Amino acid sequence: IDTSTYNENCIIHSIIRTWKQIKSQFDNESMSILLPIAKNPSFVPSTLDSGYIQWKELGIRTIGDLLVDGNFASFSQLQAKFGLHKHNHFRYLQVRAYVKKHTHTLENIIPTEFDELFKLGGGEGHLISQFYNMLLLRSSPSTQGLRTGWEQELGSEISDELWKASLENIHKCSVFPNTSPLCDKCHTEEATLLHSYSLCTKLTPFWSGIFKILSDMFHTELRMEPLLIILGVSGQLFQFNKRQQQLLSYAFIIGKKLVLMFWKKAEVPSVKLWL
């Protein structure tokens, strides 16, 4: 495989980025035994040495192929099983060092849950939903930890029912999970995206100031509207031409960026900052 063709492919880039996020989110440090040996960019020798392609032809394709009952095979085991010629000993040591570096052991290397899943291949169907369920399953211990943390903080137990309700709240304002569902500015309303971007009373002077300035600029009255603030759409925009609409949309984007900069703070951005 020529990797250079993939380096400029933005879809593959974003898949890899998402995958890395999932990996770090779930603390999945373990190495996949489905990793290919030949032409594997993270195993540098294999990108320089075409000898590993020969391994592939002999049937040693993935890290998993190097294992015997979960343990890293000895060189003679590989020779016997795959007919590997003895001049491959150096390559064997290289790949063994690579595996050891990432798994920190050469014994009891078990497939990750993800490995099990990917091994199912396309034939099984529902791969996406299985994958999703696995991610959910993986994430549940961490909410348990969160719950324990809160219970300690509150000095009392949180019932299953209450915990479920609070998780739903957390999901609603998913920008910052594991924080209080209450708004950090007014401390009275739930910090939904709608609230935190536009409805919070503490933000009213900021947004009304901006609407006042824009109204003066266009000699027309722009009503303050959450939809306009958050999504930049509104029936009010029909009276403006394309250029004016663009200008307005920039104005709201800058406003939202300022709100984001003050997201976790008790303070609010000023209209002066926006200007």
Residues lying near Zn ion in the complex (CB under 5 A) are found at: 183, 185-186, 189, 200
Minimum distance from residue 199 beta carbon to Zn ion (Å): 7
Rounded-to-integer distance, Cα 178 and Cα 171, Å: 10
Minimum distance from residue 233 beta carbon to Zn ion (Å): 23
Rounded-to-integer distance, Cα 47 and Cα 1, Å: 10
Minimum distance from residue 225 beta carbon to Zn ion (Å): 18
Minimum distance from residue 227 beta carbon to Zn ion (Å): 18
Judge whether 245 and 178 are in contact, CB under 8 Å. no
User: Which one, 37 or 200, has the nearer CB to Zn ion?
Assistant: 200
Rounded-to-integer distance, Cα 231 and Cα 132, Å: 29
Nearest Cα residue to 134 out of 122, 117, 146: 117
Minimum distance from residue 249 beta carbon to Zn ion (Å): 25
Nearest Cα residue to 163 out of 175, 145, 176: 145
User: Which one, 34 or 194, has the nearer CB to Zn ion?
Assistant: 194
Minimum distance from residue 149 beta carbon to Zn ion (Å): 24
The alpha carbon of 272 is separated from its chain's Cα centroid by a whole number of angstroms, namely 35
Counting every residue, how long is the chain?
A: 275
Query: Hey, what are 268's tokens?
Result: 């609010």
Rounded-to-integer distance, Cα 233 and Cα 222, Å: 13
User: Which one, 173 or 248, has the nearer CB to Zn ion?
Assistant: 173
User: Which one, 91 or 185, has the nearer CB to Zn ion?
Assistant: 185
Minimum distance from residue 151 beta carbon to Zn ion (Å): 26
Query: Hey, what are 154's tokens?
Result: 């509150």
Rounded-to-integer distance, Cα 8 and Cα 4, Å: 7
The alpha carbon of 239 is separated from its chain's Cα centroid by a whole number of angstroms, namely 40
Sign of CA dihedral 53, 58, 61, 63: negative
User: Which one, 61 or 202, has the nearer CB to Zn ion?
Assistant: 202
User: Which one, 103 or 198, has the nearer CB to Zn ion?
Assistant: 198
Residue that is written with structure tokens 């099984």 in the block: 124
Query: Hey, what are 139's tokens?
Result: 């994430």
Rounded-to-integer distance, Cα 209 and Cα 227, Å: 17
User: Which one, 109 or 200, has the nearer CB to Zn ion?
Assistant: 200
Minimum distance from residue 188 beta carbon to Zn ion (Å): 7
User: Which one, 24 or 201, has the nearer CB to Zn ion?
Assistant: 201
